[in-house]
Amino acid sequence: MQKHAARRLHYDFRLEVDGVLKSWPIPNGPSYTHGEKRLAVMTEDHPLDYATFEGVIPKGAYGGGQVIVWDAGIYAPEDRNGRPCFDRERAEALVRKGIEQGKLTVFVHGRKLHGGWTLVHTRDKNWLFLKKDDAFADGHDVLAEDASVLSGLTIEDLKSGRVPDPAARQPLLLEPAHLPGARRGPIPRTLSPMLPSVAERPFSNPNWLFEPKLDGYRVIATLANGEVHLTSRRGLDCSAEYCASSPIETRSWTARSLPSTSRDTRRFSCCRTGAASHGRTWCTTRSTCCFETATTCAACRSSDAKHC
């Protein structure tokens, strides 16, 4: 999003799609208040390199005035289930469809704008820009953050004759390693994963993701120097306690419960700690260890079992 002091100050909301920038100038800027309507006027597509433009457009030229990159980040359009779509091909198709049908919701992860925002077509080139009712809709005055995310300059700085310094320019999409003073450090020895919370009844909400609560152990998987390590939420290394051939370590797990479908969790605990040393068998059908060394699971009679 660029802040543009042309004939009238406005904020240009731009989305990259199909190799161009779809653009909506918003005269009053975005609002973090849910339900507050902000006019957005759709204009012609802009080339991608315009996304990083900062400076002064000469007076008399189209859009003459001062321009800064007020915010930058990534976005994902909402799919039909109310979830962000991160597949580029599908995402661009969703944006095209949303513009055609006159309603487009995107999830934004910028440095100033966060969460869900909806564009609704009213008539002609006029749209409404609305904040979705989510955890970020707190009503704070985001327009008070008036400096560029690339140069740190404001519109007033440009009016006073200051120009962006290319040497001090921040990248458009900020990586942690690019932050001032950032330095490489070791992976933390302990991390606190998100834990299940109790609710009175089941509910559906596009701002939430759900997973089954299975019996098992909450672990955190870290990948460093090509090696995967599993630690408990108390910081204990439990990598050696699981079979290298099990389906658990071949998948990309971060903070999950290593599942056991056995109803007797004490039996699973016994298997888990002793399977490797006693030659027991991991059953990929039941996701639990068997007490036999044969390739058939004693519990479900499946032949889909592997030795630890």
Instruction: Write out the catalytic residue numbers.
Output: 213
Helices (H), 117-197: 155-159
Rounded to whole angstroms, how far apart are CA atoms 178 and 167?
13
Rounded to a whole number of angstroms, the CA Rg of the chain reads 26
Token match 């932050």: residue?
A: 179
Rounded to whole angstroms, how far apart are CA atoms 254 and 102?
38
In sequence order, what are the beta bridge partners of 69? 2
- With residue 143 as reference, give the H or E element that holds it: none
How many angstroms from the chain centroid is the CA of residue 27? 28
Tokens of 3: 């802040």
Count H helices, E strands: the chain?
3, 17
With a CB cutoff of 8 Å and minimum separation 6, the contacts of 69 are 1, 2, 51, 52, 53, 54, 148, 149, 150, 151, 172
CA angle 89, 92, 97 (to 5 degrees): 125
Query: Beta 65-69 vs 2-5: how paired, if at all?
Result: antiparallel
Query: Are 41 and 25 in contact, with CB atoms under 8 Å apart?
Result: yes
In sequence order, what are the beta bridge partners of 5? 9, 66
